Amino acid sequence: MENNCFNMTPLGPDAHNTLGTVCIFGTGDFGRSLGLRLLQAGYSVVFGSRNPQNSSLLPKGAQVLSHLEAAQTSRIIFIAVHRENYEFLSAFSQELSGKVLVDISNNLRKNQYPESNAEYLAKLLPQANVVKAFNTVSAWALQSGSLDASRQVFVCGDNCESKQMVMDSARSLGLTALDQGSLLAAKELENYPLQLFPLWRLPMYIAMGLTAAFFIYCVLTEIVYTFVTEGKDHSFMIVVSIANRVFPIVSLIMLALCYLPGVIAAILQLYNGTKYKRFPDWLDKWMLCRKQLGLVALALAFLHVLYSLVIPIRYYVSHHRYIYTVSQLKDNKSLMFDNSVAWRNDSFYSLGILGFGLYVLLGITSLPSVSNMVNWREFRFVQSKLGHITLLLCTAHTLVYDWNAFLYASRYRWYLPPANVLSLIVPCIVLVLKLILITPCVDRVITRIRQGWERKSAHAPHDTSGQPLAL
Amino acid sequence: MENNCFNMTPLGPDAHNTLGTVCIFGTGDFGRSLGLRLLQAGYSVVFGSRNPQNSSLLPKGAQVLSHLEAAQTSRIIFIAVHRENYEFLSAFSQELSGKVLVDISNNLRKNQYPESNAEYLAKLLPQANVVKAFNTVSAWALQSGSLDASRQVFVCGDNCESKQMVMDSARSLGLTALDQGSLLAAKELENYPLQLFPLWRLPMYIAMGLTAAFFIYCVLTEIVYTFVTEGKDHSFMIVVSIANRVFPIVSLIMLALCYLPGVIAAILQLYNGTKYKRFPDWLDKWMLCRKQLGLVALALAFLHVLYSLVIPIRYYVSHHRYIYTVSQLKDNKSLMFDNSVAWRNDSFYSLGILGFGLYVLLGITSLPSVSNMVNWREFRFVQSKLGHITLLLCTAHTLVYDWNAFLYASRYRWYLPPANVLSLIVPCIVLVLKLILITPCVDRVITRIRQGWERKSAHAPHDTSGQPLAL
Amino acid sequence: MENNCFNMTPLGPDAHNTLGTVCIFGTGDFGRSLGLRLLQAGYSVVFGSRNPQNSSLLPKGAQVLSHLEAAQTSRIIFIAVHRENYEFLSAFSQELSGKVLVDISNNLRKNQYPESNAEYLAKLLPQANVVKAFNTVSAWALQSGSLDASRQVFVCGDNCESKQMVMDSARSLGLTALDQGSLLAAKELENYPLQLFPLWRLPMYIAMGLTAAFFIYCVLTEIVYTFVTEGKDHSFMIVVSIANRVFPIVSLIMLALCYLPGVIAAILQLYNGTKYKRFPDWLDKWMLCRKQLGLVALALAFLHVLYSLVIPIRYYVSHHRYIYTVSQLKDNKSLMFDNSVAWRNDSFYSLGILGFGLYVLLGITSLPSVSNMVNWREFRFVQSKLGHITLLLCTAHTLVYDWNAFLYASRYRWYLPPANVLSLIVPCIVLVLKLILITPCVDRVITRIRQGWERKSAHAPHDTSGQPLAL
């Protein structure tokens, strides 16, 4: 929808309207896109190019000059050039001294060079004020004016005034500028666009690991076992039945895993008798990726729901039913209706549905735009209170399914307990611990600790602002 | 993803890079987190603490001094201290006079104190410029740099220049600063983080009330009735069948309730012959929580869908089917296929599915980030046009289900009409009224009224900007 | 949630707190709402009105004066007046000269007048500095302070300093201000709020066209055909069965259509041996609406899922099953279980479910707030890699359904191939082409081209910034 506003005809440099002149070295994608946007925002734009004549693709309204001439037109110069070509800039060290050089370059892989491109540029041109910025914004995003890719411009540099100039220009393009400190941060900024879901790695690995493990476990205890013992080939079950056994198990365990660290942290605080003791690193890391853990678990729960709902239209199932009906009719048994079975079966579904419903709610509230609108208390209410209720419902759902499986020897194939039983261990531990933690007596202590009270010194030093710590 | 950028190594105060020095009183969670972020943004940070030596947890790069020394280092001082400890500040009234004191404190419950903490601080230190800010941002959000909790910093204070300083510092941390006026607003700001979904209260109460009412109604007319009359124990039906009867009913009614106020408002405007007459308060309130009403209704519809889809895998149902088949076979009736039943049954499902589809669409467009990208006309098109179509489809869905239930005496158990019939009352009223309102003759008048025309004065005074009023 | 903060009691003009005085001409909805928000933000507000006495609805704290007096109180004046009433302003040309006049007006339809309202105003008052702004923000959004409608304020004007003043005032209201250049842009801005999902048009038309075509096709080959040949009336199938045949087909084709342009673009680049050659317009347009194409396809896939899941509770189906069982029993065949059928049937469902799961994931990541948080590489990973896998899974899902349909003459009704076969053409083409493009040899060339290499000149001129081009 945006576009109509951004793809506005470039206005050409009409003096009375310009926000000032900006120079861009390099006429590549990014240079051109940036130029277009700057023109639209009311700057007049001058490109510096080796071959000014060959400028077919440049946005109309922009001037093209030699680097030398271009450099003189403006205080601020965007370096839309590959690092390999930085050397040639040192030729203009005079003209560039005192200018604000914006290094927007990216590398092809992390830590490609010992020093960041920006620092390298700063070394080449010591008199210039190098600012690292715009490298996290894509040419495409600038061109289409779409909000589809990130609009955050991370800026760093050693000269404060230069940084401000760059941040202002970013804001005048409708982007969000974030000051990231000195040029030391350049390396981080150059690595940022190259990273691939760092916070999602761990949860994904956990998910894959658990899935693989339980998949093998189930194939063994169900497919292989039936084949060996009864000689029946149920291999086709791998595709749906086993999948629908494994996904919910992993989902439940991961849901539990994303509330476990909170419990551990609370216990640690109780043990330390203060909240001013750092948590071990592994716990901090764990707590930072709770959201991702939960969302992966939600995805698996979603698959579980779909897999369960297709059951009645599966060939295997309808065939099974048919056979069953026939056999029943043959030895015309009159099938009795068992009320308690109906109760358990229905509450099994009901618990699952309610659990999943809350689960989806949690997922929605973890959307950035939603969580930005709720205040801290509301956020914690949803993520903590509702979260634990979700865990409770899902665990109950699994318990009801076959709560007593572990009792029957027949269910132990090759002495292995049924997978569902294994899946219940972690969730139950979390729930029991949580239950203990919310008992009034324990809860009172934790609350006081979180308000800054320390066991040694009876009343808190005047050093907390009543801000809750997220657990 | 952010984090890698925010958790950047604190830079330490290297003069040439700093945005200036900022002082923080108090070394609690929030003080520390704020300090870290300020360092990362390029400020140099000085903590004021009673016991400067005990500063184990403070971000490296920050200085720790006594309050007295710290106060002198900076123009702006964040007071990360509990209200109870404000008195001690009066000791430094000299040093603090003319300084910008940022009160970031929160209370434990609404209106805990007669006057807001900020106003209390201002009274203690009349020469200082107190600004209330940052209390809506959580320590956790600052630490992790995550966008998970709100990034909006509401600022209020009596000195304009001081406010600007604080708002700039907020922006330089990548937060959104919103000026909320004079220090009178401090109380509001201090209550804000303590409120729990104020706009969701009413809709939730309505939902719970209706659910409870219809639940009892259905239990009576179905479970109890069958037990009393036929002596059959269908109690297990409570878990799924009744739930799946109640949820859709409440959902439909609430969907209707969220379009009723619009209709009422239009009628009022027609009656008043102007749009410049205020609506009664109850109507304004109602209209403000329409979105929440709709979303709660959507949640219930979602549950209804899941409950309906598990039907075929329920023990009760499959058993029922089996019994039916057997009985049919016994007295080997040849079951005739009824085309009209097929028509009604299929269109019943089709209407439901399409209705739910549109419903979900409405839900998605009401996500902040989505509704921020559509213009006013688009937003109204979706919320009003599509909304009414959704209501129409869902009502039709219910009508087709058993449109003629109310005709058969047999359906009146203990003279009570079937629940579905009751559920149709409100939606039908809304739809009929809406139908009348969109008839050309009526619509023309309303449109003119909304464009500023008033019945008394033939043509509008020059006082509207063509901005549509939301209905 | 916001509201409690915005609906704060207007503070009244207390000199020491004001950000300055702002004047508003016109006391309509928008004028009033704007006034209220400005008061809350700490401005003092003066309304200019023809009849200052009649100001019942104005926010308390605001002054009301005659236009003449009002104009003198402030440097910046919001013109909340219909274009038709602009003439009267020329009376005050003296008083208004040098003032910043903010034209916030909207029209009732696109290009209603030859020149934009703002330009018209500028012509009427040549000495004033006219700035177009705020017309994209709705009175309702300002009133309720809700984020439900767009918070973006597009600003354009010929005088830069004036523009800055207006943008600052917008920001102080917590809105996002975007500079759109000179007053030439005013027409665009005035049309913006009148447009209705421009980017969604094409995808919607495609969807409707395809749906209609395939609907007719299926009605012919299934309903009409059975009626003509067997004389059976299956008309009721239109409602669910046909719908559930058409939706997935259209969905699959559209999903393919949203990855086709990428493939074409790549081929073009290979052919041109450079990325610096513009794509034909139709391709650019196509690529800009890929996201919308994908989302429409997702919506249809969603309906397909629901339609498939209600199958077992349909009257037609259960009746069918019953008849089948009976017939089987009559000639008591003993039905054999076919392992290979089970395999195909189950993998059919499994592929569909996994495909849909990924599909939903794609949809979620295309939410603005989500895509704003991922960096460019992550965005492309999801949209390109996962996207193609989704297409692969969904195509496989359809293939497995009846991969060999086209082989059997019996399936060709009136010599027409089964619809599913037709639906597979486009997806298969896309997948095959993509497969060729990602073969190492081809891929290497494309990558080099996208990094700026051109066939003629062996090594790239120094004119690319390593920014990826979106394909």
What single letter denotes the amino acid at residue A100? V
- pLDDT at residue B468, rounded to an integer: 40
- pLDDT at residue C437, rounded to an integer: 93
Confidence of residue A183 (pLDDT cuts 50, 70, 90): confident
pLDDT in tens, B158-208: 887 888 888 888 877 777 777 777 788 888 888 888 878 888 989 999 999
Is residue A55 within 8 angstroms of chain C, CB to CB?
Answer: no
Neighbours of C365 (CB within 10 A): 19
Residue of B nearest to C18 (CA): B160
Confidence of residue C106 (pLDDT cuts 50, 70, 90): confident
| Residues of chain C numbered 277-296 and touching chain A (CB < 8 Å) | 278, 288, 291
Contact, A361 vs A383, CB < 8 A?
A: no
**Cα C460 from Cα C454, distance rounded (Å):** 6
Q: Which two tokens stand for residue A234?
A: 């149920």
Confidence of residue A169 (pLDDT cuts 50, 70, 90): confident
Task: Of A204, A300, A212, A286, give the one whose Cα is nearest residue A252.
Answer: A300
- pLDDT at residue B439, rounded to an integer: 92
pLDDT for residue A210 is more than 90: yes
What is the distance in angstroms between the Cα of A434 and the nearest Cα belonging to chain C? 30
Query: In this structure, what are the phi and psi dihedrals at residue B258, rounded to the nearest 5 degrees?
Result: -90, -5
**Cα B382 from Cα B389, distance rounded (Å):** 10
pLDDT in tens, C173-190: 777 777 777 788 888 888
How far is the first Cα of chain B from the last one, in angstroms, to the nearest whole number?
Answer: 40
- pLDDT at residue C332, rounded to an integer: 67
Considering only CB atoms, A150 lies closest to which of C197, C275, C373, namely: C373
pLDDT in tens, A281-320: 899 888 888 989 999 999 999 999 999 999 988 888 888 8
Confidence of residue B8 (pLDDT cuts 50, 70, 90): very low
pLDDT in tens, C204-215: 999 999 999 999
**Cα B249 from Cα B244, distance rounded (Å):** 9
* Chains adjacent to B (≥3 CB pairs closer than 8 angstroms): A, C
Q: For chain A, give the mean pLDDT.
A: 82
Average pLDDT over residues B140-157: 67
Average pLDDT over residues B143-163: 71
Q: Which two tokens stand for residue A277?
A: 């003791």
Sheet with A76-79, edge to edge strand ranges: A63-65, A44-48, A21-25, A76-79, A100-103, A129-132, A152-157, A176-179
| Residues of chain C numbered 240-279 and touching chain B (CB < 8 Å) | 240-241, 243
| Residues of chain C numbered 414-433 and touching chain A (CB < 8 Å) | none
Cα separations (Å) of B260 from B399, C237, C357, C422?
19, 36, 36, 46
pLDDT for residue C361 is more than 80: yes
User: Cβ contact (<8 Å) for A40 and C366?
Assistant: no
Cα separations (Å) of B19 from A368, A380, B175, C156?
29, 34, 16, 31
How many alpha carbons lie under 13 Å from residue C165 in its C-beta half-sphere? Answer: 23
- pLDDT at residue B252, rounded to an integer: 95
- Angle at alpha carbon of residue B427, lines to B426 and B433, rounded to 5°: 90
pLDDT for residue B232 is more than 70: yes
pLDDT in tens, C114-125: 889 999 999 999
Give whichever of A112-116, A360-364, B48-52, B146-150 has the largest mean pLDDT. A360-364
pLDDT in tens, C62-72: 888 888 888 88
pLDDT for residue B441 is more than 60: yes
- pLDDT at residue A255, rounded to an integer: 95
Q: Which two tokens stand for residue C464?
A: 């690319």
Rounded to the nearest 5 percent, the helix, strand and coil shares of chain B are 60, 10, 30
Considering only CB atoms, B193 lies closest to which of A347, A377, A461, namely: A377
- pLDDT at residue A144, rounded to an integer: 58
- pLDDT at residue A143, rounded to an integer: 65
Which residues of chain C make contact with A62, given a CB cutoff of 8 A? Answer: none
Q: Which two tokens stand for residue C287?
A: 């690529």
Of B296-310, C1-15, C441-455, the one with minimum mean pLDDT is C1-15
Which residues of chain C make contact with B369, given a CB cutoff of 8 A? Answer: 367-370, 372
User: Cβ contact (<8 Å) for B239 and A346?
Assistant: yes
pLDDT for residue C216 is more than 50: yes
Q: In the block, which residue shows the tokens 């440097």?
A: C75
Q: In the block, which residue shows the tokens 């009244």?
A: C12
pLDDT in tens, C284-315: 888 888 989 999 999 999 999 999 999 988 88
Tell the burial category of B178 from Cβ atoms under 10 Å away from its Cβ (0-12, 13-18, 19+): buried
Confidence of residue B460 (pLDDT cuts 50, 70, 90): very low
What is the distance in angstroms between the Cα of C364 and the nearest Cα belonging to chain B? 10
Task: Of C304, C322, C298, C296, give the one whose Cα is nearest residue C242.
Answer: C304
Of B372-376, B429-433, B455-459, C81-85, the one with minimum mean pLDDT is B455-459
Average pLDDT over residues A56-82: 86
Neighbours of C397 (CB within 10 A): 21
ipTM over 0.90: no
pLDDT in tens, B344-370: 999 999 999 999 999 999 999 888 778
What is the distance in angstroms between the Cα of B407 and the nearest Cα belonging to chain A? 32
Rounded to the nearest 5 percent, the helix, strand and coil shares of chain C are 60, 10, 30
- pLDDT at residue A54, rounded to an integer: 66
How many alpha carbons lie under 13 Å from residue C88 in its C-beta half-sphere? Answer: 17
Query: In this structure, what are the phi and psi dihedrals at residue B179, rounded to the nearest 5 degrees?
Result: -75, 125
pLDDT in tens, C363-416: 998 888 787 777 778 888 888 899 999 999 999 999 988 777 667 777 777 778
- pLDDT at residue C333, rounded to an integer: 65
User: Cβ contact (<8 Å) for A372 and B319?
Assistant: no
- pLDDT at residue C11, rounded to an integer: 38
More confident residue, A8 or C337: C337
**Cα C463 from Cα C470, distance rounded (Å):** 18
pLDDT in tens, A20-32: 889 999 887 788 8
- pLDDT at residue C208, rounded to an integer: 96
Considering only CB atoms, B1 lies closest to which of C8, C174, C375, namely: C375
Which residues of chain A make contact with C290, given a CB cutoff of 8 A? Answer: none
Average pLDDT over residues B456-461: 48
| Residues of chain B numbered 331-370 and touching chain A (CB < 8 Å) | 367-370
Q: In the block, which residue shows the tokens 């092809």?
A: A108
**Cα B138 from Cα C304, distance rounded (Å):** 43
DSSP A438: T
pLDDT for residue C14 is more than 50: no
- pLDDT at residue B84, rounded to an integer: 86
**Cα C359 from Cα C394, distance rounded (Å):** 9
Q: Which two tokens stand for residue B152?
A: 């909006």
* Chains adjacent to C (≥3 CB pairs closer than 8 angstroms): A, B
**Cα C454 from Cα C272, distance rounded (Å):** 9
- pLDDT at residue B143, rounded to an integer: 64
Q: For chain B, give the mean pLDDT.
A: 82
- pLDDT at residue C199, rounded to an integer: 84
Considering only CB atoms, A466 lies closest to which of B105, B233, B312, namely: B105
pLDDT in tens, B54-82: 666 778 788 888 888 888 889 999 998 88
Residue of B nearest to A275 (CA): B29
**Cα C16 from Cα B129, distance rounded (Å):** 12
Q: What's the pTM?
A: 0.83
With pLDDT > 70 as the criterion, what percentage of chain B qualifies? 87
Neighbours of A405 (CB within 10 A): 17
User: Cβ contact (<8 Å) for C302 and B360?
Assistant: yes
Q: Which residues of C147-182 are buried (b: 16+ CB within 10 A; e: fewer)?
A: bbbbbbbbbbbbbbebbbbbbebbbbbbbbbbbbbb
Neighbours of A170 (CB within 10 A): 22
Average pLDDT over residues A209-229: 91
pLDDT for residue C250 is more than 70: yes
Q: In the block, which residue shows the tokens 């277009």?
A: A36
Confidence of residue C452 (pLDDT cuts 50, 70, 90): low
As a whole number of angstroms, the longest Cα–Cα distance in chain A is 102
Average pLDDT over residues C216-229: 90
Q: Which two tokens stand for residue A253?
A: 């365990």
With pLDDT > 70 as the criterion, what percentage of chain A qualifies? 87
pLDDT in tens, B307-331: 999 998 888 888 888 888 777 777 7
**Cα A224 from Cα A232, distance rounded (Å):** 9
Establish, for the pair of chains A and B, how many residue pairs have beta carbons separated by less than 8 Å: 244
Task: Of A224, C41, A402, give the one whose Cα is nearest residue B154.
Answer: C41
Three-state DSSP class for A246? helix
DSSP A416: B
- pLDDT at residue A147, rounded to an integer: 45
Residue of A nearest to B189 (CA): A375
- Angle at alpha carbon of residue B29, lines to B24 and B35, rounded to 5°: 40
**Number of separate helices (H) and strands (E) present in chain A:** 22, 8
What single letter denotes the amino acid at residue A446? I
- pLDDT at residue A293, rounded to an integer: 93
